[in-house]
Each structure stands twice: as structure tokens, then as C-alpha cells.
Structure 1
Amino acid sequence: MSHTKNPDINFSLFDKNEGTLKLTSAETQKDFITVSIADLPSSCSGEVRVLVQNIKEDRPFYLKSQPAGTDCFLIDLSPLKEMAVFGRQTTFCFFIECTLNGKQVFYTLREQEPPASLLQRYRIFTAEIWLQETPSTSSVEYVGVASNKKDFENLFCAALCSRNRYLELTHACRLRSCRMTGGILKLKFDLETGFHKYVKTVFTFRSKLAEDAISYDFHTVSEKKHGNMLRITAALDLKTVDLKSIYWDVRAVLQGPVTENTGELPISMDVPSRMYQKFLYNGSFSGEKGFFLYPYYTGKQTLAFAYREKNKYDGLSVIFKEFLAIFLYRIARPYWKKKHICLVCEKFSSMAQDNGYYFFKHCMENKEEQFLKKNIYYIITKDSPDRERVLPYKNRLLDFMSIRHLCYILAADLIVSSDSRYHTYPLQSRHSIFNRYIKKIPFVFLQHGVIALKKVDNFYGKGQKGACNLFVVSTETEKQTIIDNFGYKPEEVINTGLPRWDVLHDKSQDRREIMIMPTWRNWLDSVPDKDFEASDYFTHYMALLNSRKLADLLEKYDLEINFYLHAKFQEYSDQFQSKSPRIHLISFGETAVNEMLMRCRMLITDYSSVCWDILYQDKPTIFYQFDLDKYEEAHGSYLDMKTDLFGDRAENQEQLLSLLEEHIKNNFKMKPEYEKMRKFYFNFSDQQHSRHICEEIKEKLL
């Protein structure tokens, strides 16, 4: 028997097959599966061969197989084990190849009558595939499972998934009650243990950093048989928990009967439980400085908890406003639909200085409403520092969280934004129900940078929460990154450049400014002040801002620095101080980022995508990456930071200041090797990026 990974097939078998054959039986044993096919054509001649194709890839490959009776085949699945991927389920569909009338034909497979028992339906063909993403993360067991795949036309597939995912497929765990009283979190849930043994319930912090991994065990109050389920009551004293921001998961731990390997099962919430939690239950646990812990249900409708700072949209009053808007919209639905509304916004609907604003401004000044046949509106908070920038178009403004704003969301035909579509509404609102409406609106993702230095496919990838209908990119390299990693088709990714580049040109000739603009870190998102101040991020940048050598360089060469925090870290801006009068700490909204990027002579950043704006202007960047290992663990990137960057790298302050002085002495000119990279990346012939986006929207979405 032979295994050929590259058959002479240059097309996807999903697009070219003769139909589906029925499996009458499928039995697994270690690394093998035996299948019986009911309706294999009797006129098949020559060898019958088995192929599999990854559902996310285009090329199939053969698996070794041999006859095991009439229309029965023993298939070796061991090659699939090498293709397990940490953190992802990898799924392969089966195909049969045979020859009919001298022609090579292919069939998909589907199990005719899958077993009623989920344990029998999801057959494990291999276990104990141990994967470890980095040396600092603990190993996770993966298993191979064979079954029909419901969300893929019920075709028969083999999947490599974590044992936790296998338990989700084969066992039930349903919430019955959740109470938070006197600092005690008490849960009651029904658990289907099957052949497994219940071990405990755990409360686990959701973090991508191994050093932040922490888990607490619930005290199991009782275990009682309830029909074919085990009713568990478990309690946790929240006063003993070192709460971290933001998300915590609750899982039941089960132990297998043969290998005794353990897996974790989330607690699902049925419709009544979800509605009670969303509309009626307001219980929570108060933490430090306005932070609170409360339950919510995830996108997979399982129980989880959030620990964050309370805001003005967390009360039950938001529900009444939303229901009023829904009522007003529904009684006049024909009127609203005739308006053909397109909504534009930026981060948190509180800004007007990024791609959303420049796209909106272009549309208002260039009659794009007639071209697109849309009424275009910009969403912005009443107290936004940028509000004056959009006042010339006040008849096209929507006040954030006004009843009019809510009605326009319900009526919208299209969202265009530099952040996810959910920035049209409060990102954090405990009781809001509007996400279910927002996710149905077609969405054009303008981005607010170039995707390269930070992995975001787990959020913006196709099928993920931040998915879009049209993805704006700025280079052909970036477009290929999106196609290869995000799951979009080439026609869904448009290389137009960013709207803010329409007005981007160098204004630094008569200025002596350097911009420092670090990006955010997901492990510091919404943490308490004391945790932020203890972080490497804060200590490194505070040390830089107060460096005697940096102050001397600025004085010697008559330079100034503008230090600007990422929008997600603006709440910590007061913690940063500098003794040098030449270093200016810029608050959010004080000066438009685009303006500072044009005025500066060069940029110092870590992993921020604004480096591409600087490259676009033919200015140099220094990448200050003191926490690269931690960043790669938590975020990851689509390029090699040590070899593929278009600027010099520094890993400590001494290197950074040495490189800075080198660039100053070179009058801030781009080095030849980076100038060459610039010419490779950018091939735009004009600065009509917004116009080209409008053309693509009309062609592909309208």
C-alpha cells in the first residue's frame, strides 16, 4: 500500500464530484477505520482509492487503503495525526476515486444511519496526540474523531480536535441555576458523564500568557442522580479568588475510562437560562475600584464570567431603550427601509480621525451618496473631542446611544468602519441585545492599519465574530496573508489602501518632532491601575520617557517627542509622566493621529501598524521590542520580526537610543534596504483610496 500526498489533481473535490455514496457502517480501531459502502457503482473498473481533503484547503491527498470484503475498505488514518494544529480543529472529508467508462470520477461519503448515541457516532480512531504551542504552555491532548459533519452537508469526515472539544460533541452539561450572594458563587448543573467520571468544577482565567494562567476549584456541595444525568451543586468563595480582567470560564472536569486522561466540558445555557441572565438577573460581585464580576453567555451559548470596570451602559435601563427603538422601528419599517442607510464609525464611536472619518468625509464632499445610492451617516458620541471635525456634516451625524441612533442601526443596509461592526454600539454592555441585529448587517472593514505585525484571524477571520463582507488591504502581500490565514476568497479582499492615506503627505520639513506610539497588549486590557503600573510595558516606557540620555539627545539636536498611547490604553494616560519639557504626553483626541504622523520626522513603535503610514511617507521607523517573546506568545505575527521588518530593531533602551542618534545624524533618511522594501510593498498610482473603496463596494456588495 502506498501513500501519495500530491496526486495529479489540481482542483478541489468539493467542486468536482459525481455525488454522494452511502456508508452502511464505519468502525474505528487505533489509527484505522473500516467503512462499508452501499451503492458503489458495479461498473467501477480498476483500483478504488480513498482520498481526503482539508475543508479549508484546495488539494486532496490519498490515504492507504485495502479491501476488507465486498465494497468494504480498511483505511489507514495515521498520516492525519501529523496535521493536528494547536488551538484549532482540523477537518478532512473523505472521497472515493474509481474509474467509470474509462473516466476518473470522485464521490463524497455520507453515513446512511448514524448511531443514535453520540458516543458511538463520534468514533475515536486515535488518541493521545499531545501538542504544545510553546515551551511555556502546557500540553493539550488531541484526538481523531470520525463522523458525519452537520455543518458541512453531513459529509463523512475525520477531525483532529482537542479532547475538550470531543467531550462537547459527546456529552451534555446544562446550567440549572447560577447565584452570586454574599461573595459566594453557587452553580447547579446537570452533567451527562457517559463512561467518564466527574472529577471537579474549575473557574479558569482566560489568558494567552502562560504566566497568567490561574484556576480555582469549586467545592462540590453535592452529586445526585437525576434521570440519566448527574446533578452537580458546586460553590466558590469569590473572596479567595485573585480576580483578573477580563474573562473567566467555568468547566466541569471529566476523566476518561481507559487512558484516564482528563478533559473539560463547558456548561451550556438553554434559552430560558440565557433570557433570565440577559433580562432579569442583575447579580454580581464587587471588586476593586469599580470593577465587578458578572455572568454572561458566550457565542457558543455557554456560561462564562466577565471581570471589568462598570460603565454607564451596564444597567437594565439599556434594555428599555432598546425595546423602545425596536417598537418604533417595527411600526414604521417601510419608512426606515426606504432610507437605505449606511453607517460609518471608528473605535467606540468616539473618534473622527481615522479611516472611518476620512472615508465619510470623502463621501460627503464627492457625491458618493448618489453613486452608492445610500444615505451615509456618521456615529459619534456627543462629548467626543473630535466632534467639531464632523460638524460641517451635522445633518448626517447620529448621536451615539440616542433613540435615533438605535433605530438607524436596525434599519441599516451597510456598516463601514475602521474597527469591527460592534463599535457602532457599546462594546461592553451587560444586558444589551443589539449585537444580534448588528451581526446581520453587511460590513466593510476599512481597518486602521496594515495586518502583518499582529495575528487577528481568530477575531476578524471569516466566520469569526469580527468577520466582514469586504476586507480592505493595502499591499498584495497583505492580501495574500488575509486569503491564506483568514479564510476569505480573493474577491472579498480589496487592495485599495487606507482612506486616511488620501490626505497623508509629509509635513515634517520645518519641524523637529519624533513620534513614539506603542500598541496595546491583550494581557493588559482593562486591568486595574496597580497591575498596569507593575507591567513591563509601563516600566519600560516610563524609563524611556525619563531617560537622562534621551533628554540630552533631544537637547543636543533640538528635537521634541510626542508620546501617544493606543486608544485602548488611554485610561492609563495619567500614570505616565516625563521630566523633560521636550517630551509631550498627548492625550486621546488632543491632536489627530494622522496629523502627528505627518508632522513627525520618524516613528518609534513596538508592533503598531502605524509604521505603515510612516513607510508610506518614506520616513524611518525604529521598532522597540523589549517583550517580543511575550508578544509572540499572546498575539503572534504574520512575519518574522527579526528579519522581515522595514526598520531597525531594538530590544533594550541602550540599543534604542543608539539607533535613534544614528538616524538623527543621518537626517532621518530611510536606509537603502528599507527604501527597497517600500517600493516593493506600495504600488498605488494616486491618493484616491476612498474613491476606489466606493467603487469596490458598488461592484461587490450593491
Structure 2
Amino acid sequence: MLSKKISPYDLSATDCITTEIISAANGKIALKLIDFSADPDASLRFILKHNKTGMQLFPEVSRPDPDTYLLDFSFIEAFYELTGTNFFYLTVETTSNSNVHLYRLCPPSETAGSIKPAVLIEDIYLKDDIKEIQTERIVLLQPAADDSHAFWITLCSRNRFIQVTHICDLRGLSMRGGILKITFDLKPDSLEYVKTIFRFRNKLAEAAIAYDFTTVSTRKHGNMLRIKISLDLHTVTWNGLYWDIYVEVFDPENNRTNRIQITVPTRRRMFMKFLYNGSFHTPDDFYVYPYYTGGTKLALVNRAREQYDGFDIVLKEFIAMFLYNIAKPYWKKKHICLVDEKYSTRAQDNGYYFFKHCMENDEETYLGQKIYYIITKDSPDYDMIRPYKKNVVHFMTIRHMCYILAAELLVSTDARSHIYAQRSRHSIFTRYTKKLPFVFLQHGVTALKRVDFFYGKGKPGSCDLFVVTSEKEKQIVIDNFNYEPDEVINTGFARWDVLKDKSQDSHDILVMPTWRSWLEGASDREFEESDYFRHYAALLNSQRFKDLLEKYDLHANFYLHAIFQAHTESFHIASDRIHLKSFGDTPVNELLMQCKMLITDYSSVSWDVLYQNKPTLFYQFDLDKYNEAHGSYIDMKTDLFGDRAETLDQLLDSLEKTIQNNFRMEPKYEKMQQEYFQFEDHEHSRHICEEIKKWMKRK
């Protein structure tokens, strides 16, 4: 086997050879080339071509008979980047009298849609997979999902393979009296049904809580197995936001047990969108709702009841679609661009400063777009956008819905879903927001938390243009998110246009930790029992911390992440030098500019402080747990631009050292600061507009 690297290629223009898979196992494939006759003097070789890099791999080939080619791909595992957007096309190259011709290998057209993937290699496990149950991955040969009609070789989990090759469809659901009853049809083929599991969605092994459904009945229904299950929701300890439902099946051929999920068919999805609003009221005054994931799989969400859960929103949606469709030419002429921030409730981040720049510099004319800011009527930041009220649209109004239907561009700090109240209940508008061309301004620098599983190309949060702040960050996105270089724009953040050090006369230290996925949606009780709460409560009530503030005449502002703001009142402070800050008290930008230094854990606001040449301390008491759940793109122990502490005493030692150094950054961190920023001209919004303009011309 040899390999070499060439530039990416276009396979769609090559000729096709109809190919039948005879067998596939243990890394070897037996193929029959149908109606193919090469020149007897021609040399022939099979080639794997990587879809992104164009790298070529050449398997060993033998011919057990004239019509059959046996290819050995056992080497391929070593060449796999373990991401779903990397694959290899299988091609054939013939050479005769210096004439080289490349062919695609394609399934017979009449059977292309019914060919199941063939398993080539089994038992692939990642070394860093530390979940309670490790994920087995397999290498598959299957017809491509693009327009090439070629075979490709790809990597996926065995559970995913079982999911796509077996039917498991929802047929009924009810939650009356707190008893969750589900009916689903399973086409098992050679598999045997074992049981159904209700599992808290969490990346931490210690939080892997699961409950077994009671299997009420299983009976034949045509070629399907109709299964009825039930679970008493009163017996569940509700300690998280999302809960998944897994069906366990056993394969006697390989003695393996796998898990698949229940798919919600189209008609059932329509029913859940518009007619079903059943729920279960928990002891923590939360409500459990059934929903379906982006992959149309049945799941449940445990959350507080929200104002957009009612059927009045469904009525508004129908009215908006009617008004849009009867006046579509009018809406299309407006060339609408929508800008928003976190759930359209704020105006203090990159979205607001980008919008403000556009309003004050006539970027609407430059971009050829009518730019509107989406925000709730009761936002505490409403005064920030009041001067531009002609370009403000109120969240979840009929006008807002019409503008989403007509929009040509979305510019946001967060995922597309934040432009609409899609977490409240199922909405038909999901399909429209998913189609919006999207410029992702980001909320923070991508480095300290892995988010490619969501924001990666082709993932639920994918975008068309990805804004970054440095060449280092750009390379992280290219390497891990699968974007092309021209889809990642190094402009810096829009909010940095106004970012300047205002700490000269300040006495403030800012304590601003980030969130934890395993506590998202937690009740006050669950939050207060967590290590996260206990460590920060210990800091805020530390006598030594209070003494340091008193000794050096300082004040500390404690600001919880937006996702945890509901738990601010859980913290009780007995010092007039420590202040709890909530949304609306002071814009985050102001807190970052006024502080003399920052204490955080893994928050990317540390880059905002670094931009101002001010020091940051990293309090990482739960690094192993954080890495298990979130992970990072840099080494926390060697690549941070500030001292890190794992205990309260270490943190307070570093704090006193920083204070005594008059809040100056250490030279080694100053050097790192110089490597991080390309632009420090406070014209970041202008750079973003220039890149959007270039992108629009390329479209």
C-alpha cells in the first residue's frame, strides 16, 4: 500500500462503472465490475481519494476469478480522522499508452437506494473515550450521499449503523397521570429486542442516570414488532435538562448489544408541533415535555414553563405564513438581514455592537441589506437599541415571524435557534431558521471549550461565515470544525470596537466563571448541591478573600454565566465589598473594562481582558471533570496566559501576588498576548462587513 497527497478534486465528471459488492469483512472487499472491459494491455489500480485533502491510498488487489477483485483495506484505520465529514471515494484508474482514465464505482441504478452499508472493519475504540459505555466504531462501504453516485468508505458508530439500517418508529405517546406510555414499531430483522432505557443526557460518567421502561407487550404487526412500554415519571430523579430514550437490541450473529433511538415520523411530528402539549409537573416546579431532536428522535426535556408554550404562538405562526405568502414579492424586495444575541433578550455583545456600527456607518447601503435587530420588548437592554427603533423588531411578534420567512441573512452571536423561541415548543419555523444563511459572530473565543460537535460544518449550529479573533483560533476552527479557510474570517469581535481599559480609577476585581453542561436546567436544590456552587460560595465567603479586599481597598463583582443567572440568589454574601451582579445591572462590556483583573475558570471573556493588557487568574478546581464533559483545544496546564489554581489557597496566593504587582501582566503572559491578536484598531465591525461583502459576491 502506498499513499500520496494531491489537491482536492471533483469526482462528479468522471465516468461510472457499475459495481456489485460480493462480500465485505475483516478489512477486505470482494467487488464485481459489471459491463466493464478495459484494454488488455492497460494497467488497472483501485484508489481511495479523500474528500477534503485529495490524499490517495492504494489497496492491495488480487483476482480470485476473472470477474472478481479482492481489495485489502485493513490499513485504512490509520488514515482516519475520526469525524463524520471525512470519507474516501473508491475509484478505479486505468493507464494505457500513457492515457490515464479515472472511473467512479457506482451501485446498479435500480438497487442504489436499497443497498445496505457493508461493514469492513469492526471494534474501533477511541483511546480518549472514557464514557461509561465506550462507543464502538466501524468502517463502512456504502453508496455516497452526494450527487456523485459513487461508493465511499466512511467511519461511524455501530449504533448509528444499526439506526440507519433498521426501522424503529413512534406510533403513540401519552403522559396522563404521570405515566409515560409509548408505542413503537421495530423492524428487527435478525436482531432481538431486549429492553428500552430512559437516560439523562450527560457527558459525565458519574451522572449517567438511567431507568428501565416496563415492557408492557410485544407482538407481531406485519413484518414489524409492535412494542408497548411504560414508565412512572414519579419515580424519576429529575436532575437535568434533556433525557433520551434508547431501545436495546441484541445481535446473535456477533453477540453484541446495541442501542438505537425511536424515530418520530412526519405525521407524528406534525401532531406534536400543533396539537399535543402534554407534560408532567415535577416536584421542583419544572415541566417535562416530549420533543424530537434535530435528528427526529424521540426525547424529553425537563424545564421551567415558558411564556411561548401556548397555542397562541401556533396561531401567530399561521397568520405570519399567510401574510408572507400573499405578499412575497414585497418581502423579497426588502433584502432583510436579521441581527440578534442570546435568545434575542440582550443588546450588549457582538450582535449589538455590529448592529450599532451598521446603523451609524450606513453599512445597509454597503451590504445592500435592510438590517434589523431582534429583541424582546421587556429586555433590560432595550434603551441601548432605542435610538435605532425603526430598525428594531420585537421578538415573537407576527412581524418578527414574517421577517424570518423573508430574511436573506442572519448575523448572530449564538446558534440560529436563538432567533426564535424554538426551545419552548415544537415550531414549524425550525425549518425556516435552519435555511437562513448565517454569519456566526461568536459569543467567545473558541479555545477553552470544545464546541465542534454542535458548531462544526454540517452540524446543527453550522454557519456560512465563522468569525474568529486570531490566526491561532482560525487554525483551530479549520482543523476541528471542517470549514474551509475562506469560510473562517479573522476580524476580531465587534464588541472590541469599544473595548478600552477604564480601570485607572477603579477598585474592582471581576469574578466571572463560565457554565457547566451537567448543571444546565438544574433546579436550585440541584445547583446548590454541586461542587461548582460550593467552590464559588467558599470563595465569596472566604475570610482571607474579604481581608485581601479590605487590605488593598478593593471590591469584587461576581457575575454568573447567563445560563446560571436564575441561581444568583443562591449565593449569600456577608461582605459589603463583594457584589452579586445580574443581567441588566451593568453591561458585561462595562464590567470587563472597569475591572483591574479577572478571576475565571474556563470563560473566553479572558480574551477580552487580555485584549486590554490586564491579568487573568484561572480557578480550575474541576479540570478533570470539565475535560470529560467539555474538553478544550489547548492545554490548560501549559497554554493559558495567566496563573491557574486548583485550590482556594492557590487562587488567593496568586491574587495577592497580582495585587502586589500593581495588576501588571507577567512578561511571559505579555508575550503570549502579542501572539493572539491581528487587529487592535477598534474597527472590527468594519472588517466583518468587508468580509460579508466578499462572501456575498462569491455566492
Q: Residue 29 of structure 2 corresponds to which residue in structure 1?
A: 33
Q: Which moved more, 1:57-66 or 1:264-273?
A: 57-66
Structure 1 residue corresponding to 2:61, chosen from 46, 62, 65? 65
Cα deviation digits, residues 240-259 of structure 1 (max 9, x gap): 22223221222221111222
Q: Residue 420 of structure 1 corresponds to which residue in structure 2?
A: 415
CA contact (8 A) 1:89 1:160 kept: no
Cα deviation digits, residues 11-33 of structure 1 (max 9, x gap): 23545974332213431132211
Pair 240,16 (structure 1): closer, same or farther in 2 beyond 3 Å: closer
CA contact (8 A) 1:13 1:60 kept: no
Cα deviation digits, residues 665-687 of structure 1 (max 9, x gap): 11111111111111111122622
Pair 65,232 (structure 1): closer, same or farther in 2 beyond 3 Å: same
Structure 2 residue corresponding to 1:525, chosen from 520, 536, 543? 520
Q: Residue 312 of structure 1 corresponds to which residue in structure 2?
A: 307
Question: 2:461 and 2:124 mapped to 1: Cα distance?
Answer: 31
Question: 2:283 and 2:609 mapped to 1: Cα distance?
Answer: 40
Letter in 1 for 2:518: W
Note the C-alpha offset of 1:340: 1.6
SS in 1 for 2:132: coil
Q: Is residue 657 of structure 2 the alignment partner of residue 662 of structure 1?
A: yes
Superposed counterparts of 1:245-264, under 5 Å: 245-264=240-259
Cα deviation digits, residues 415-471 of structure 1 (max 9, x gap): 111112221211422132212111112111111221111111111111111111111
Q: Is residue 161 of structure 2 the alignment partner of residue 171 of structure 1?
A: no
Letter in 2 for 1:574: E
Note the C-alpha offset of 1:108: 2.6
Note the C-alpha offset of 1:70: 2.5
SS in 2 for 1:307: strand
Letter in 2 for 1:534: E
Q: Residue 463 of structure 2 corresponds to which residue in structure 1?
A: 468
Question: 2:9 and 2:132 mapped to 1: Cα distance?
Answer: 37
CA contact (8 A) 1:348 1:427 kept: no
Q: Residue 560 of structure 2 corresponds to which residue in structure 1?
A: 565
TM-score (norm 1): 0.95
Pair 337,311 (structure 1): closer, same or farther in 2 beyond 3 Å: same
CA contact (8 A) 2:242 2:302 kept: yes
Question: 2:299 and 2:83 mapped to 1: Cα distance?
Answer: 19
SS in 2 for 1:422: helix
Superposed counterparts of 1:326-345, under 5 Å: 326-345=321-340
Letter in 1 for 2:48: V
Question: 1:371 and 1:325 mapped to 2: Cα distance?
Answer: 30
CA contact (8 A) 2:239 2:526 kept: no
Q: Residue 486 of structure 1 corresponds to which residue in structure 2?
A: 481
Structure 2 residue corresponding to 1:156, chosen from 133, 142, 151? 151
Q: Residue 392 of structure 1 corresponds to which residue in structure 2?
A: 387
Structure 1 residue corresponding to 2:136, chosen from 132, 141, 148? 141
Note the C-alpha offset of 1:577: 2.2
Q: Residue 98 of structure 1 corresponds to which residue in structure 2?
A: 94
Note the C-alpha offset of 1:584: 1.2
Letter in 2 for 1:30: N
Q: Is residue 297 of structure 2 the alignment partner of residue 293 of structure 1?
A: no
Q: Residue 632 of structure 2 corresponds to which residue in structure 1?
A: 637
Q: Residue 346 of structure 1 corresponds to which residue in structure 2?
A: 341
Cα deviation digits, residues 324-349 of structure 1 (max 9, x gap): 11112222222222222111111111
CA contact (8 A) 1:49 1:98 kept: yes
Note the C-alpha offset of 1:54: 3.9
Q: Residue 52 of structure 1 corresponds to which residue in structure 2?
A: 48
Note the C-alpha offset of 1:85: 6.9
Cα deviation digits, residues 135-188 of structure 1 (max 9, x gap): 453222223332212346332122332221111122111111111111111111
SS in 1 for 2:320: helix
Cα deviation digits, residues 608-665 of structure 1 (max 9, x gap): 1111111111111111111111111111111111111111111111111111111111
CA contact (8 A) 1:250 1:267 kept: yes
Pair 89,694 (structure 1): closer, same or farther in 2 beyond 3 Å: closer
SS in 1 for 2:435: coil
Q: Is residue 107 of structure 2 the alignment partner of residue 111 of structure 1?
A: yes
Note the C-alpha offset of 1:83: 5.6
TM-score (norm 2): 0.95
Q: Among the aligned pairs, what percent are the same residue?
A: 52
Letter in 2 for 1:369: E
Pair 104,666 (structure 1): closer, same or farther in 2 beyond 3 Å: farther
Q: Residue 583 of structure 1 corresponds to which residue in structure 2?
A: 578
Q: Residue 227 of structure 1 corresponds to which residue in structure 2?
A: 222
Cα deviation digits, residues 560-610 of structure 1 (max 9, x gap): 111111111111111112222111111111101111111111111111111
Q: Is residue 11 of structure 2 the alignment partner of residue 19 of structure 1?
A: no
CA contact (8 A) 1:32 1:75 kept: yes
Cα deviation digits, residues 180-206 of structure 1 (max 9, x gap): 111111111111111111111111221
Pair 436,646 (structure 1): closer, same or farther in 2 beyond 3 Å: same
Note the C-alpha offset of 1:132: 5.5
Q: Residue 701 of structure 1 corresponds to which residue in structure 2?
A: 696
SS in 2 for 1:139: coil
Note the C-alpha offset of 1:117: 9.9
Letter in 2 for 1:49: R
SS in 2 for 1:68: strand
Letter in 2 for 1:439: K
Which runs of no fewer than 5 residues in structure 1 stay unpaired? none
Note the C-alpha offset of 1:292: 1.3
Letter in 2 for 1:28: A
